[in-house]
């Protein structure tokens, strides 16, 4: 996936001022920057929800089947069970004969199989996020876009959900674009970190190989200051 010289204005206000980077297929690319720097605007452009921009987006994998999403808020349908929430997005994607085993595989991977018949109101916030992650990976797409999915979780729950995410990513190898302002989360799941400036937004630095260590964390913090 290549993002080439993306520019976006709202009237006279410049948001993205020529953003370029490359996300390796089957890997996790993190877009890291302060709140309000244009990360969600870029995601809207990549999702084809924002069409008024200049520049080019090149997808190396097929996007005809759609793109999976994980958002900051849980987007579960309240009147459907856990199982039915996942089944709903798989209509016309998975055959009826394979559906149950397919869904149960993903619920098992996030340790929620025993909750498949529960409604969202009976789940904790962390459990709802796990359902959302299972649903996103179950959907048969090559691309997954994540908008601050670990926001508002306590440290323990966030750590657990990140581990479930890593397990599913290892299994599925989706091309992931993860936008966040959280350096810790970026280091834990990113294969590449693209650090954004403040508006008008440009790429300040790209870290191609990510390891979760204090030295790199300190370097990123200095760049963001």
Domains of the chain in start order, with CATH, are 1-67+142-154+174-225 (3.40.50.300), 75-140 (no CATH)
130: Cα separation from own chain's centroid: 13
SS3 at position 19: strand
- pTM tops 0.85, yes or no: yes
pLDDT one-digit tens code per residue, 61-78 = 888 878 999 987 788 999
Interatomic CA distance for residues 142 and 92, integer angstroms: 17
Interatomic CA distance for residues 7 and 25, integer angstroms: 23
Interatomic CA distance for residues 150 and 141, integer angstroms: 21
Give the N- to C-terminal CA distance of the chain in Å, as an integer: 28
Interatomic CA distance for residues 194 and 115, integer angstroms: 37
pLDDT one-digit tens code per residue, 110-154 = 999 999 999 999 999 999 999 999 999 999 999 999 998 888 788
SS3 at position 45: helix
Q: Which residues is 31 bridged to in the sheet?
A: 179, 194
> What value does the mean pLDDT take over residues 198-215?
82
Question: 109 is written with which tokens?
Answer: 């991977």
Question: 169 is written with which tokens?
Answer: 């990513």
């Amino acid at each position: 996936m290549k993002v080439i010289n993306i520019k976006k204005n709202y009237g006279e206000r410049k948001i993205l001022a020529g953003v370029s980077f490359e996300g390796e297929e089957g890997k996790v690319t993190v877009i890291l920057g302060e709140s309000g720097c244009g990360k969600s605007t870029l995601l809207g452009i990549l999702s084809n929800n924002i069409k008024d921009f200049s520049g080019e987006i090149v997808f190396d994998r097929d996007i005809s089947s759609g793109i999976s999403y994980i958002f900051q808020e849980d987007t579960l349908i309240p009147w459907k069970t856990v199982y039915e929430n996942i089944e709903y997005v798989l209509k016309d994607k998975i055959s009826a004969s394979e559906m149950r085993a397919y869904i149960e595989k993903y619920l098992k991977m996030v340790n929620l199989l025993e909750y498949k018949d529960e409604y969202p109101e009976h789940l904790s916030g962390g459990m709802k996020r796990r359902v959302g992650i299972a649903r996103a990976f179950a959907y048969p797409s090559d691309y997954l876009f994540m908008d601050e999915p670990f926001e508002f979780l306590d440290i323990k729950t966030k750590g657990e959900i990140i581990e479930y995410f890593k397990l599913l990513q290892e299994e599925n190898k989706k091309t992931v674009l993860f936008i966040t302002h959280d350096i810790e989360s970026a280091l834990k799941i990113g294969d590449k970190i693209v650090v954004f400036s403040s508006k008008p937004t440009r790429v300040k630095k790209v870290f191609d190989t990510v390891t979760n260590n204090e030295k790199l964390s300190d370097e990123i913090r200095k760049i963001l200051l």
